[in-house]
Structure 1
């Protein structure tokens, strides 16, 4: 099967295992592919939440200059406000909560910003209705 459309985003990371743990914890993503690139010798991991054919590609690098920082961010829809609150309390304790949960009304919904181990921003949200909006756009 040939991939069509947006399939991935690639992020440089300084520590693969630390980044895998972050995205597993806060975005419910799991490793679906792992390799050492034959040409460069660089470690590469693909993470997926198994909800659609889309992955985050983590690429091990010596130094990271994060470009996904507010307002540029990855967005993850959560099943409830309570789930966001629980994850944000954990993020606060771990020192990775950038912006606590806030209800911005429709169409933004309930959201918070977290910072991954390399400074990239992850948004947790509930109520944005992106899937519904895309379905009704056709």
Structure 2
């Protein structure tokens, strides 16, 4: 049996889980991997994942939401190209949920924009950020340092 280690999820209060599932499916390519209604509280809980890593957004339906991820606190999602990001930003602009962007801040930040989810939390779309590259470089460096000398 494998146990979870490290950062596994972030939990967000939402007013309507179905509306939030639709938003994160559209703008972050996430899908529901777990659904339940808590037996004690009767609250709907959904886990969303994009399948690229063992990390989930946990949506917890509540009667009221005070957005905690706004304006600069945010979830960040890497896009496959500038063109795909621009298309999502155009859609978000049309839907009235584009908060800022897109902007090119150069390395290591890259091309990015902020969107507002249905409950007022902020989602960043980006292309060319170097977070994944930095993590991989760090892992490779740590692996090299842990090897016994020849």
TM interval, short-chain normalised: over 0.9
Counterparts of 1:78 and 1:70, CA distance in 2: 20
Q: Deviations over 1:45-90 (max 9, x none)?
A: 0000000110000000000000101210000000111111000000
Q: Mind listing any 5+ residue stretches in structure 1 that lack a counterpart?
A: none
Q: Which residue of 1 aligns with 2:40?
A: 39
Residues 1:8 and 2:17 aligned together: no
Q: Mind listing any 5+ residue stretches in structure 2 that lack a counterpart?
A: 143-150
SS of structure 1 residue aligned to 2:52: coil
Counterparts of 1:18 and 1:37, CA distance in 2: 19
Q: Structure 2-normalised TM-score?
A: 0.90
Residues 1:69 and 2:70 aligned together: yes
Give 1:38 shift: 1.3
Q: Which residue of 1 aligns with 2:145?
A: none
Counterparts of 2:62 and 2:118, CA distance in 1: 13
Q: Structure 1-normalised TM-score?
A: 0.98
Number of matched residues? 138
CA RMSD of the aligned region, Å?
A: 0.6
Counterparts of 2:17 and 2:119, CA distance in 1: 10
Map 1:1-138 to 2 at 5 A.
1-137=2-138, 138=142
Larger of the two Rg values belongs to structure: 2
Give 1:127 shift: 0.6
Counterparts of 1:32 and 1:48, CA distance in 2: 7
